[in-house]
Amino acid sequence: MAAYVQDVFMLFGDSITQGAWEPGMNGFGERLSHVYARKLDVLNRGYSGYNTEWAIPVLEQCVANHADKNTPKMRVLTVWFGANDACIKPSPQHVPLPKFIANLKQIVSMIHSSESSYYSPDTRILFMTPPPVNTYQRRADLENRNPPLKLDRLFDTTKEYAEAVKNVAEEAKVGLVDVWSALWEAVGKDEKSLSKVLTDGLHLNADGYGIIFEELMKTIAEIYPDVHYEHLGYVFPPWAEINWESPAESLYVTKKVSE
């Protein structure tokens, strides 16, 4: 197993998070891994098709117990759900809006409540709103499948879930990356023009991910500057700062087992 030498930046979400490392997609996960290299380990905890109801049991297994002191600290946690929760009935992915809101609050409580087994008071939480749906693209994509499928998401419904994320973030006093608004404004507030930032009416393309990365970094710089990559040093020193006469003196950032 890998030893603990770096803390982590965890991306928790659905397929839009899972795909954030897809080659050629300019994914925000790929770019985060680059700018946080040697500073924080960026972890992909994205699960295609998942909603918040299914995500909570997973998060309980992805986050270390508070009593375990020998695990990496989770410095940053992004929570990006809603795209699947907002599916319309009879989709099994659908989560009623009140339950979706309750689930988001439970995720925050898991991390920031002192009574939680997963209590991590220093973790910076960032909620991310689901992107707007291009129902023209989405309908065409589903109808071209074999067998053809009916439209499973609505523009206004997803907007309601995005607004819910914003409200919970404000109430819980955690960070917010308003993906919905950023993409909507980028295409001139025109649903058909969302094809410029979405591949299939739901998932982001390279341009969409590029916008989200910039929004994420801007938000971190504004409200959590201590964990912005520009303010974090390398865990292990740059080669020029190594004590060349006695390298071990500058290279052991954790105590040796024998000590």
Show the tokens assigned to 196. 């410029």
200 in active site: yes
In the predicted structure, residue 255 carries a pLDDT above the cut 70: no
pLDDT at 67: 86
pLDDT single digits (tens) 197-224: 999 999 999 999 999 999 999 999 999 9
Identify the active-site residue in 15, 116, 181, 193.
15
In the predicted structure, residue 257 carries a pLDDT above the cut 80: no
* DSSP code, position 199: S
% of the chain exceeding 70 in pLDDT: 97
Edge-to-edge order in the sheet of strand 8-13:
41-46, 8-13, 74-80, 124-128, 175-177
Are 185 and 129 in contact by the 8 Å Cβ rule? The answer is no
pLDDT at 5: 87
Find the mean pLDDT for residues 67-91.
95
Find the mean pLDDT for residues 84-101.
97
pLDDT single digits (tens) 238-248: 999 999 999 99
pLDDT band per the 50, 70, 90 thresholds, residue 2: confident
Strand extents, DSSP E, 14-123: 41-46, 74-80
pLDDT single digits (tens) 35-47: 999 999 999 999 9
pLDDT at 4: 84
94 in active site: no
The pTM of this model reads: 0.94
Find the mean pLDDT for residues 157-164.
98
The three-class DSSP label of residue 117 is: coil
In the predicted structure, residue 254 carries a pLDDT above the cut 90: no
In the predicted structure, residue 161 carries a pLDDT above the cut 50: yes
Which of 1-5, 21-25, 106-110 has the highest average model confidence (pLDDT)?
106-110
Average pLDDT along the chain:
95
Strand pairing class (74-80; 41-46): unpaired
Identify the active-site residue in 33, 85, 112, 203.
203
203 in active site: yes
pLDDT at 1: 64
pLDDT single digits (tens) 59-71: 999 999 998 888 9
pLDDT band per the 50, 70, 90 thresholds, residue 252: confident
Find the mean pLDDT for residues 107-113.
98
Identify the active-site residue in 116, 181, 193, 200.
200
Closest CA to 42 of 55, 61, 27, 24: 27
pLDDT at 42: 98
pLDDT at 259: 41
